[in-house]
Structure 1
Amino acid sequence: MPLGTLDRSPPPFFKQGPSALSKLMVCSALALFLMVADARFRIAQPLRAAVATALYPLEWVAMRPVLGLRFVGTYFESLQGAQASEAAARRKLAQQSLRANQVEELEIENGRLRKLLELRERIGTRAQAAEVLYDAADPYSRKVIIDRGLAQGIAPGSPVVDESGVLGQVTRVHPLVSEVTLVIDREQAIPVLNARTGSRSLAYGDPSGQGGALELRYMPGNADVQVGDLLTTSGVDGVYPPGLPVAKVAKVERRADSGFARIECAPQAMVQGAKHVMVITPLSAELPQRPPPEDAAATPRKGQRK
């Protein structure tokens, strides 16, 4: 084809189209116009409302899994918090219960100690407080161990009382501890006085060996003994001070085939759970000692010259 026949004129405008810069400027101006018009006259508000209404079901469906996961997480967090609060409340309740029990126990112990002090003042003899450590290992006897011994001046045969009455007698003394045989031991006997009638007798430990009671032996079948009579120490043995509560008559059996009555007594002291006790100096130790024979011989009698 000859070169003269080629068309060298540029293409028309509608075939070439606007340039990219022109499109950018036109779109920017249109956007700016729409923003100003929407801000001034809210021309896009109906369109926005229609689009929001059309998209609401899709948004609701899309948010269900998110809300479900959020609810599950909140549930487990609240469950853990509730469990932690419950555990803390239970611990606090247990601590308060323990403190309440301790306060109650201290009040009971304080009352017993006050009664022991009152008993010590009423007795008028030397005495010292002691604490029961544990029961003796012998299962066939009724004995306890206290925390006083030779180092504290405890002597064998010393009476031991609690706030309610006579508990027993010291039968063995060690350097730092002592063994106390309770009044309910079957090998133990104590002279008693019936506070109602004034009659004297002997109270022995439970002959069955099971403990928990005393028995008045060799009492005539017609003896004036009634249920509820208070038995106190008579003081004739030189060991127990007179007037200490020992037991109360619990049962009286008068049998026709025997000349003696069977009388069971309940001890006044806490033979099964004593904690604080008082060790009393025996009456024999309080009495003045007799002078030696040589001193008695050297002492001139009345009317005798030296």
Structure 2
Amino acid sequence: MALATIDRTPPPFFRQGPSALTKLSICSMLALFLMVADTHLAITQPLRALVAAALYPAQRVLLVPVEAVRDGREYVEGLQRAVEGAEQARAELARQSERALRVEHLMQENARLRALLELRPSLEVRSQAAQVLYEAVDPYSRKVIIDRGSAHAITAGSPVINEAGVLGQVTRVYLQSAEVTLLTDRDAAIPVLNARTQLRGAAFGGASGRSGGLELRFMAGNADVQVGDVMTTSGVDGVYPPGLPVAKVAAIDRKQDAGFARITLTPAAASEGVRHVLVLEPLGLQLPPRPDVAPVPAPAGRAASRPGVAASRPGARR
């Protein structure tokens, strides 16, 4: 041994086993093997379940303060939301009460004015609630089936509404159910009235494909229609009561070379997710029958232009 040097090698008594690198390699390969085996064979699943069952009481004890803090925070937040909701409900109830008083006053005033002008009293719209059962099986139409039919005095042509506005019209009646064609159907049409300008028009469905949309057709390019105008039922068709929301103007395309404007409407009542509706009685059942229009006779000595009408010649046999 050289002088002034220290031998750092351990004595033979403390030397044992393989080196640290060999141990690391063996443990790494063993861990990789166990992971692959557990993934494909789930050999550690019983051991994992046993450990989880043994640690469950300790886990529940440790979660008690966490759950207490969370439940307390949710209770305080829920109490605050309930108080705010109650205040909003009271304010809305006050507004509704004031509106109901004004509506009642207006109804009384309307009745007095009608009596003064000797007009017939306003029609009472009878209604009944119904539930939507399912949509029609035709993928190219927008129809739903409700649980009211002829056994419940439902007639074809009855308007169907919800809290937002007009949904559609009963087009086919069965004994215990009825088919409702929605306004967004491509074959649907409804007369409307612009609430701002009192301009009448006709809204047709199927403007945006099956997703639903309305189009206000046959309106002049210079018609007084603006984006945001509310379209309501006019009440002159003998079907829908007046004043029901139908749609709102979404877009207007005024082309210079076209005589009519392309006006797209957004329905007031969304048909998606509707569960409960209100079926109204058509106004035509309460109105007097329409007078029959007598055909206009053809001029003497000239043949009628329409088929089925005999010529008015002297001596002609009928």
Structure 1 match to 2:131: 131
1:205 correspondence with 2:205: yes
CA separation of 1:76 and 1:220: change in aligned 2, threshold 3 A: closer
**Counterpart code for 1:211:** S
Structure 1 match to 2:270: 270
Contact 1:142 / 1:181 at 8 angstroms: preserved in 2? yes
* Structure 2 residue matching 1:272: 3-state secondary structure: coil
Give TM-score, length-normalised by structure 1: 0.57
1:190 correspondence with 2:190: yes
Q: Which runs of 4+ in 1 moved over 3 A?
A: 75-78, 82-86, 121-124, 288-291
CA separation of 1:263 and 1:175: change in aligned 2, threshold 3 A: same
| Aligned counterparts of 2:58 and 2:124: Cα–Cα separation in 1 | 63
Contact 2:207 / 2:264 at 8 angstroms: preserved in 1? no
Alignment of 1:1-12 (within 5 A): none
| Aligned counterparts of 1:231 and 1:134: Cα–Cα separation in 2 | 28
CA separation of 1:81 and 1:166: change in aligned 2, threshold 3 A: same
1:217 correspondence with 2:217: yes
Show structure 1 runs of 5+ residues with no match: 1-74, 101-106, 292-306
Structure 2 match to 1:9: none
Larger-gyration structure (1/2): 1
| Sequence identity percentage | 59
Structure 1 match to 2:57: 81
Structure 2 match to 1:168: 168
Instruction: Give the drift of 1:80.
Output: 2.2
Contact 1:205 / 1:211 at 8 angstroms: preserved in 2? no
| Aligned counterparts of 1:176 and 1:129: Cα–Cα separation in 2 | 14
| Aligned counterparts of 1:76 and 1:162: Cα–Cα separation in 2 | 53
**Counterpart code for 1:79:** L
Give TM-score, length-normalised by structure 2: 0.55
Instruction: Give the drift of 1:210.
Output: 2.1
Structure 2 match to 1:261: 261
Structure 1 match to 2:159: 159
Instruction: Give the drift of 1:237.
Output: 1.1
Contact 2:208 / 2:214 at 8 angstroms: preserved in 1? no
**Counterpart code for 2:161:** V
Structure 1 match to 2:7: none
CA separation of 1:84 and 1:225: change in aligned 2, threshold 3 A: same
Instruction: Give the drift of 1:143.
Output: 0.5
| Aligned counterparts of 1:76 and 1:211: Cα–Cα separation in 2 | 51
Alignment of 1:28-39 (within 5 A): none
| Aligned counterparts of 2:155 and 2:218: Cα–Cα separation in 1 | 31
Contact 1:129 / 1:277 at 8 angstroms: preserved in 2? yes
| Aligned counterparts of 1:222 and 1:83: Cα–Cα separation in 2 | 74
Contact 1:185 / 1:211 at 8 angstroms: preserved in 2? no
Deviations 1:114-153 (A, max 9, x none): x9xx9xx998410001111111111000011111011111
Instruction: Give the drift of 1:218.
Output: 1.0
Instruction: Give the drift of 1:207.
Output: 3.7
Instruction: Give the drift of 1:76.
Output: 6.5
* Structure 2 residue matching 1:133: 3-state secondary structure: strand
Structure number with higher helix proportion = 1
Show structure 2 runs of 5+ residues with no match: 1-50, 79-84, 90-95, 108-122, 292-318
Instruction: Give the drift of 1:268.
Output: 0.4
| Aligned counterparts of 1:135 and 1:271: Cα–Cα separation in 2 | 11
CA separation of 1:76 and 1:191: change in aligned 2, threshold 3 A: closer
Instruction: Give the drift of 1:287.
Output: 2.1
| CA RMSD of superposed structures (Å) | 3.6
Structure 2 match to 1:287: 287
* Structure 2 residue matching 1:209: 3-state secondary structure: strand
| Aligned counterparts of 1:142 and 1:77: Cα–Cα separation in 2 | 55
Structure with bigger RCO (C-alpha 8 Å, 6+ apart): 1
Instruction: Give the drift of 1:83.
Output: 5.6
Structure 2 match to 1:30: none
**Counterpart code for 2:167:** L
**Counterpart code for 2:57:** G
| Aligned counterparts of 1:205 and 1:266: Cα–Cα separation in 2 | 10
Structure 2 match to 1:46: none
Instruction: Give the drift of 1:84.
Output: 6.6
* Structure 2 residue matching 1:132: 3-state secondary structure: strand
Deviations 1:15-57 (A, max 9, x none): xxxxxxxxxxxxxxxxxxxxxxxxxxxxxxxxxxxxxxxxxxx
Deviations 1:148-188 (A, max 9, x none): 01111100010000001000000011111111000011100
* Structure 2 residue matching 1:258: 3-state secondary structure: coil
| Aligned counterparts of 2:146 and 2:231: Cα–Cα separation in 1 | 26
Structure 1 match to 2:149: 149
